[in-house]
Structure 1
Amino acid sequence: MKARPAVPSDSAAIASIYNEGIEDRTATFETRPRSEADIRSWFDGAHPIVVVEAEGRIIAFAATSTYRPRDCYAGVAEFSVYVARSGRGKGAGRIAMLALQDAAEKSGLWKLVSRVFTDNQASLGLLASLGFRQVGVYEKHGKLDGAWRDVVIVELLLPANCR
């Protein structure tokens, strides 16, 4: 497995992986499947996106996006990481996150933040092993399929840019 920066032509593969995550209902509040065009809009030139390939096929991605529009938060980014069902449990998520952390730091970001469902132990374990800190829990943060879901808030400071 090898990570690399994502390019717009990866959008169909990223959409396929993200749509599996949406269907699984374990990692996102989203319920509407995403198209290749939806994913292409993520490529804004400011927020790193990486993919992980195995045997010439994209099996994972990690992406950053705007945290808040205020200038004071310009160095903070939301992140997400998704692994294709066929690639789960093999280290692809770790590879994607390490590559994303490196790309985010090189782009000048100083912090990565996200929210993870409280019962998503695979993601929480991965993030803890990579140094992410659990900041707290948002209770009843949103409804998914009519049920309230709580989320754990996680953050990671990127050392090169926090001095």
Structure 2
Amino acid sequence: MTLRFEFATLQELPTIVAIYNQSIPGRLATADLEPVSIASRKAWFAAFDPNRRPLWAMKEANHLVGWVGLEDFYGRPAYGHTAEISIYIEQTHHHQHLGQQALTHVFAALPELDLQALVAFVFAHNQPSLGLFAKNGFSRWGLLPDVAELDGQRRSLAILGRRFA
């Protein structure tokens, strides 16, 4: 399936939040333990800037099936050429190579966004995401051992990165 990538709109925020909330019970993709509200994500959404740190809606026909966003890394000026990447895909569309399409789209946009490096924070037990990023040239830049507790289990957070310039 070929996707279309468009800058996300505020009207799409409910679907973006719904896709994010689908990931919570699986305990692979987020440290949130309960669903988040649309209202709680409005400030997060407003921080995206199509010219600098975009949030793209991933669409099949007119159906939003996922999203990929680039956010400031660590929020200080010296890190301005580095962004954190997040990808979330609707459950019914998992295992259809949409994550790969998202990365391909992001990589093509990096020069116009003046980005030289991407980082991803991925739970160390999230093998599908670790594999996707490794396949695309990301390596482990760090590990935060046992920093999260999910359903009584300690989980580590891998810091993945890739330089582009």
- TM-score normalized by the length of structure 1: 0.87
Q: Does 2:94 match 1:92?
A: no
Alpha-carbon distance, 1:133 to partner: 1.6
Identity of aligned residues (%): 26
* 63-72 or 37-46, larger mean C-alpha shift: 37-46
Unaligned runs of 5+ in 1: none
Question: Structure 1 pair 149/73, CA: closer, same or farther in 2 (3 Å)?
Answer: same
- What corresponds to 2:9 in structure 1? 7
Q: Which runs of 4+ in 1 moved over 4 A?
A: none
Alpha-carbon distance, 1:35 to partner: 2.5
Unaligned runs of 5+ in 2: none
Question: Structure 1 pair 61/117, CA: closer, same or farther in 2 (3 Å)?
Answer: same
Whether contact under 8 Å (1:116, 1:123) holds in the other structure is: yes
Alpha-carbon distance, 1:151 to partner: 1.9
Q: Does 2:31 match 1:29?
A: yes
Aligned length: 159
- What corresponds to 1:136 in structure 2? 142
Among 125, 146, 149, the alignment partner of 2:152 is 146
Whether contact under 8 Å (1:5, 1:48) holds in the other structure is: yes
Deviations along 1:31-66, one digit per CA (max 9) or x if unpaired, are: 232233333422322411112112321111111212
- What corresponds to 2:131 in structure 1? 125
Q: Distance in 2 between matches of 1:111 and 1:17?
A: 26
Provide the secondary structure at the position in 2 that maps to 1:23: coil
Q: Does 2:72 match 1:66?
A: yes
Question: Structure 1 pair 148/105, CA: closer, same or farther in 2 (3 Å)?
Answer: farther
- Two-structure CA RMSD over aligned residues (Å): 1.8
Provide the secondary structure at the position in 1 that maps to 2:36: coil
Q: Distance in 1 between matches of 2:29 and 2:115?
A: 24
- What corresponds to 2:46 in structure 1? 43
Alpha-carbon distance, 1:137 to partner: 2.1
Q: Distance in 1 between matches of 2:94 and 2:15?
A: 16
Whether contact under 8 Å (1:60, 1:96) holds in the other structure is: no
Whether contact under 8 Å (1:66, 1:77) holds in the other structure is: yes
- TM-score normalized by the length of structure 2: 0.86
Q: Distance in 2 between matches of 1:50 and 1:156?
A: 20
Alpha-carbon distance, 1:150 to partner: 0.8
Alpha-carbon distance, 1:26 to partner: 1.0
Alpha-carbon distance, 1:8 to partner: 2.3
